[in-house]
Chains A and B, each alone.
Chain A
Amino acid sequence: MEAKHDVLIVGAGCAGMRAAIEAFDAGADVALLSKIHPVRSHSGAAEGGINAALGNASEDDPEKHAFDTVKGSDYLGDQNAIQVLCDEAPDDVYQLEHWGAVFSRTEDGRIAQRPFGAAGEPRTAYAADITGHVLVHVLYEQVMKRDIQTYEEYFAWQLVINDDRCQGVISWDLLNGGLKTIGAKTVILATGGAGRLYTGTTNAYACTGDGMTMALRAGVPLKDMEMMQFHPTTLAPTGILITEGTRGEGAYLLNSEGDRFLTRYAPNAMELASRDVISRAEQTEIDEGRGVDGNVLLDMRHLGAEKIIERLHGTRELAMTYAGVDPIHQPIPVRPGAHYHMGGVDTDLDGRTQLEGLYAAGECACVSVHGANRLGGNALMETITYGKRAGLHAADWALTHTTIEVPESVETDAERQLKDLLDRTQGERPWSIRNELAETMHENFGVFRREDQMREQGEIVAGLRERYEHVVVEDKGDVFNNDLTQALELGFLLELAQSMVVCGLARKESRGAHARPYDYPERDDENFLRHTLVRWIADAPVLDWKPVTITKWQPMERTY
């Protein structure tokens, strides 16, 4: 064992750093461990903003925020978790401001708030269109201020389970090579999403679901894994994100005929309907031949150069660099792309998982705040509020428990597994498996889902897993061997894909991001107002269910 800490946080994006700060301030010995430097985390790519009922742009209160979130979730969100988020959000945003977050401002100098999809009030606080970037940097500033130890470029690979407790993490040291075991009384997973399951994704290369699969392998259930959000405005072919803030500022979505086609899908909310609704509308337009080279058009020309440059500067830069389009003069071609995993490690309101000593927060967790569909601006808020809560409770637990034990066998087993992988010299390298996985997931488990395609995908993934058993890592060196870590990431992704298929097949209804227009076009509250759970048993995903917590909002029909 290299070192020991009270609280070890895996992943150093918004949720991880917020947890670290809270645990540190609670008096715990804290360390962050991340495969990339904290400011490289994908939280930084969040553009549009963070939702809190500050009431700076209209009369607003947490109750309204909660209702919008419940409805947005297609009633699959746990209402107690949503209530906590919405109640704590305003103070958590003020805290960020006091730490120095460079928020955009109203005329009278308060934090500015813009309208966002499916929100009844302009509730999304923002920093131009680089909100995530600003938050990642302000949190890292606070981490530096506290001098919190950070294991940078340590690739977390396995959880240490001993005595039915999580007691640390086994990781690969990217810069120097070698497996390093960091012991901890509590471990918080904050590793983000798994968008790399898909070809067209807004997610970074780092988003490979590491924490979710580590938990799964440790016997911890994942929840609602079929719920992958497709963001309506991503650039072809790479899936680079164009923020919902563009529509919040008034941009239109047009089809090839120049129609604002949302009049036919969400006549009231139009471009500010919920993301699942808009993604389906776009896909329908494209499928029915009213797309433009497989895209629809996001038109911001009427906003004017000044507004675009002031509030959507980064978006313009992205469109110009990656699509060759200046949105001041031309509409941007966009299409739905994999964006956010509503599902993740099943936790309670304090971030606790079903394994003692193991916590999770942020996108890799599923509290569940987002249910079947997340509202734009709620993800950053969740990272902050639930990151804070997980940090506090993990610290509390750690400070009342004393021992950390990592049996030698745990480390030698890991060493042996790694040696097996690195010793292999004959066979396929991982990249073609990775590409096939991402392409077939897009084809068979995308915006619309069909029974036969999901079944086929199950078989495809099983086949890819077999091939993965014999995969070869070409780089045998110790120094910055990301050929090795990328192979390990593919292992994480394959198990998640298999889990998603099992959940997707089981949910025989259409709810939020899980749309089955061909066989189960309606929501079925009688049978499926409940979470899917998946456990890993005997090298296969096993399905289970968990009730949804409903407090005061009974399910209603969901229109925008």
Chain B
Amino acid sequence: MEVALKIWRYDADTGERELRDYEIEAPEWACLLDVLDLIKDQQDGTLAYRKSCRMMICGSCGMRMDGRAVLACKERMLPIVERGHVPVISAMGNMPIVKDLVVDMDPFWNKIRRMKPWLDPGYDEVLEKERIVSQQQMNVIQKEALCIMCGCCVSECNSMEADPEFFGPAALAKGFRFVGDSRDQAAVERLEDYNDEHGIWDCTRCYFCNERCPKGVDPRDAIAKLGAESLKEGIDRDMGAKHAKWFIKSTETTGWLRETELVPKTQGIVEAVKQTKFAIGLAKHGKVPPPGPVHVAADVNEARALRGLVREQGREGALGIVQGERGLARIEHTDAGGARRDTPAMTPGEEPPKAEG
């Protein structure tokens, strides 16, 4: 197949950027990485990008295709060629470009290191046997342990674009990998630390990290789990934590969200008073519900029952975060034979081979 690409080239010495067109003959099974290899071999040896395993495990080849972070080894080109589309390839975002598609990952790794990313078992090396841990306990960090540190989530992070110091989805997912590990004895100190400025509550919940993670780690869910664990441990000094707490309190007591009280509960009385003028302005435009009397929803007991269920099941911390089992769901929801690409010709004999037993 004839593949056409546009690649954003970047020359580190001159600082010049240029969008260049490429066309090359590639086999139908080729992924983006294979096509880049063919271009580098046959057309331009100066094209720079990272690669190694070409099987989605080393995390080297993160880059953007049409403005969306991908692993180049995971993107099959055939459907794109069939659509007649010419994708634009560029370096990942939120990290300085070194050359062409290669970014400087130092800021990324510095944030990972900042999380103290190693197990704190609470003792010095004791070597008799393994610790007894149930599979269920291990499953808590199953998705976070899948992370290959490719940087795709960081590339797409909107919070980091606004605040480059934001810890970011990869580092926070790594953080949860330890907070959620029953063998780690430093969970509370970690939570205190991750609650700092630029920490967990600075995530804007845009879900781009979940959407773009090539491994189904769902970093945003990890951040939500860190938030839930923080509240469970009573770590609520950040406005974000207070905000979340009021949501819970408000729905539990009245069955709906009392927005009027949200500002003082989140920012404190003093800050809220300072915003009186703004609030009056909003009120004039009918944007503020009347402050009283407190309205209690007719079905408030359902909200309370839900809350009771969460307590009963011990799901107050990370275990309560169930909204995004996307990583697995993505894979699970395929119908018979409905894999994500065309099946190669495979017609052995008259009948398809049958399994014995």
The number of chain B residues with a CB under 8 A from chain A is 83
Asked whether B354 is an interface residue with its Cβ less than 8 Å from the other chain, the reply is yes
Q: Is the CB of B13 within 8 A of A477?
A: yes
Report the Cα distance A204→B342, complex, angstroms: 25
Q: Is the CB of A324 within 8 A of B135?
A: no
Q: Look across to chain B and name the residue whose beta carbon is closest to the beta carbon of A302.
A: B355
The number of chain A residues with a CB under 8 A from chain B is 90
- B101: min CB distance to chain A, Å: 10
Q: Is the CB of B130 within 8 A of A45?
A: no
Report the Cα distance A491→B299, complex, angstroms: 75
Chain B residues with CB below 8 A from A309, complex form: 328, 331-332
Q: Is the CB of B331 within 8 A of A320?
A: yes
Chain A residues with CB below 8 A from B129, complex form: 94, 110
Q: Is the CB of A318 within 8 A of B125?
A: no
- B92: min CB distance to chain A, Å: 14
Report the Cα distance A322→B29, complex, angstroms: 8
Which of the candidate stretches A75-83, A140-148, A379-387 sits at the interface with the other chain?
A140-148
Q: Is the CB of B353 within 8 A of A299?
A: yes
Which of the candidate stretches A218-226, A254-262, A436-444, A523-531 sits at the interface with the other chain?
A254-262
Interface of B is mostly: loop
Q: Look across to chain B and name the residue whose beta carbon is closest to the beta carbon of A487.
A: B45
- A421-439 interface with B by 8 A CB criterion: 429, 431
Produce 1/0 per residue, B141-161, CB < 8 A to A. Answer: 110011111000000000000
Report the Cα distance A238→B181, complex, angstroms: 37
Asked whether A114 is an interface residue with its Cβ less than 8 Å from the other chain, the reply is no
Report the Cα distance A474→B42, complex, angstroms: 11
Q: Is the CB of B58 within 8 A of A111?
A: no
- B86-141 interface with A by 8 A CB criterion: 98-100, 102, 104-105, 112-113, 117-119, 121, 125-135, 138, 141
Q: Is the CB of A144 within 8 A of B46?
A: no
Chain B residues with CB below 8 A from A314, complex form: 57
- B16: min CB distance to chain A, Å: 13
Asked whether A460 is an interface residue with its Cβ less than 8 Å from the other chain, the reply is no
Task: Please pick, from B100, B178, B346, the residue contacting A293 in the complex, using a CB distance under 8 A.
Answer: B346
Q: Is the CB of B340 within 8 A of A475?
A: no
Q: Look across to chain A and name the residue whose beta carbon is closest to the beta carbon of B113.
A: A144
Asked whether B338 is an interface residue with its Cβ less than 8 Å from the other chain, the reply is yes
Report the Cα distance A476→B176, complex, angstroms: 44
Asked whether A39 is an interface residue with its Cβ less than 8 Å from the other chain, the reply is yes
Chain B residues with CB below 8 A from A297, complex form: 346, 348, 353
Task: Please pick, from A95, A260, A301, A429, the residue contacting B45 in the complex, using a CB distance under 8 A.
Answer: A429
Asked whether A130 is an interface residue with its Cβ less than 8 Å from the other chain, the reply is yes
Q: Look across to chain A and name the residue whose beta carbon is closest to the beta carbon of B74.
A: A321
- B333-350 interface with A by 8 A CB criterion: 334, 336-346, 348-349
- B11-52 interface with A by 8 A CB criterion: 12-13, 27, 29, 40-42, 44-46, 48, 50-52
Asked whether A330 is an interface residue with its Cβ less than 8 Å from the other chain, the reply is yes
Task: Please pick, from A104, A108, A320, the residue contacting B340 in the complex, using a CB distance under 8 A.
Answer: A320
Task: Please pick, from B60, B141, B183, B348, the residue contacting A258 in the complex, using a CB distance under 8 A.
Answer: B348
Q: Is the CB of A36 within 8 A of B134?
A: no
Report the Cα distance A137→B100, complex, angstroms: 28
With contacts A97-B131, A293-B344 known, is A45 near B353, CB below 8 A? no
- A323: min CB distance to chain B, Å: 7
Chain A residues with CB below 8 A from B48, complex form: 475, 479-482
Chain B residues with CB below 8 A from A293, complex form: 344-346
Q: Is the CB of A254 within 8 A of B52?
A: no
Report the Cα distance A314→B357, complex, angstroms: 24
Across chains A and B, which 4 residue pairs bring their CB atoms closest together, nearest first?
Answer: A474-B45, A100-B119, A258-B353, A324-B341
Given A95-B127, A292-B346, A480-B102, 10 new contacts (CB under 8 A):
A37-B105, A40-B52, A44-B53, A45-B53, A91-B127, A94-B127, A99-B118, A130-B146, A205-B52, A326-B338
User: Could you list which residues of chain B lie within 8 angstroms of chain A, going by C-beta atoms?
Assistant: 12-13, 27, 29, 40-42, 44-46, 48, 50-60, 74, 76, 98-100, 102, 104-105, 112-113, 117-119, 121, 125-135, 138, 141-142, 145-149, 178, 181, 183-184, 328, 331-332, 334, 336-346, 348-349, 351-357
Q: What would 5 A/B residue contacts be, using CB atoms closer than 8 Å? A: A138-B119, A258-B354, A302-B357, A313-B328, A321-B76
